[in-house]
Structure 1
């Protein structure tokens, strides 16, 4: 059945109203004689935009291409569901959980999470601009590109970030804790990511110096690196000091915040960029060790 047919089949009949009621109050869907798709109850293409649901448990449902945009989901527990291609833009999840689910190519633009648990979620290809999570526990998740997303007071473990990070913020300051544990960042395509007050435990970045990372206190590290580079009066030394000054004084960057940049930012934008990138990486590493001691 084509995607348009999956959506259009819900335009008539009373079944839609009954499904919406049960999704809202947590009643079982099993006796509605819904079709089954790949072993899951078939709600593909289902229109549930603006759904208001509380304390529901929803298991084994296929929500592919469904619309849950602007939904308010409080203490709702999803497990074993598929949301591939679904529209979850501006949905709000609080206090509930999503486990063993797929959200491949789903839309989560401006989606908000608070005090939730997301475990074993495949978000490959999802659209997550302005995605925001607060005090949420992620485990076993695969994240795509994250333009201007924010994770505040979150624990993220056994997960991977496979796409570009564009002004993505990982914040721990003003929260009880924020941890990245056994997390891999596999893409060196980063622009102004921010790590502020986040604990790093077994975090890996792309090999070599493809991505230059200062996990915390970047301003202090940058100032020390500028001092260390003062022995070089050539263009490379001058370019590094200018670059560090601009980066460390970027509006909104807190004194405690970490910082990262892709190596290609230096190699592409400066004459002698390869030498500059090597010098930046080694000088920042030395400065970080001195600040830490």
Structure 2
């Protein structure tokens, strides 16, 4: 009989297998992390060092010129402001419509909920297409307005299914019965009981919707014409893909520096500026995000 406190020696094969897993995960982490480190280091290096290939891990000839040029650009600042507005209000609209649709579909006594779910599922595989959607937005007089960025994608059927599954599996039906006995109406029950117990799934949906709004540019490409309404990603698309540099960002830059690759360093700085807000937000919702994903995937 083995004495208490004695460690069980793992077989050699298990230890080698565990070592191989650690090595593989380390290499995978380095493969994912290195491009991010390279972009940040390049954005903080001098244009000459970036073009000559001297930057590979750490910043070379530390310089904040690219970031100063970005924040001097009216076009970029408009894009930042518009993206924040689209993300905040768009996410609130998405959550509102998703909850108002998902919760009734999770109530067993709701007549015809299965038929509604079938109709919703059909829209996941078939849609009217881009041209009919554009004509609808045009007929509603939403072209070149912020509403064109919000209402056409007001909810995601996939998110409705996830929220409905969460409500069914994680909110006890007995709570609804007890609330009804106390005279609580459905709206009050949803606001005072269901939503406080649904923080994990709200965090999941909020983060997914917010990231979608933050990265959206195609809707702006189709529906918007005014530069003052362009989101950040649309502006970055013009700068990074179409190589249409903003004159304001290069106005105070000498021609020699521009020839040495200032625009290249500027592109790396733009990528960092566009990615940082999402990376900052994620740690605050990580705990709820992981829990919500697990609940939505394992229960149903």
Normalising by structure 1, report the TM-score: 0.22
**Which structure has the bigger radius of gyration?**
2
TM-score by length of 2: 0.22
Query: If each structure's helix is expressed as a fraction of its own residues, which one has the higher value?
Result: 2
RCO higher in structure (CA 8 A, sep ≥6): 2
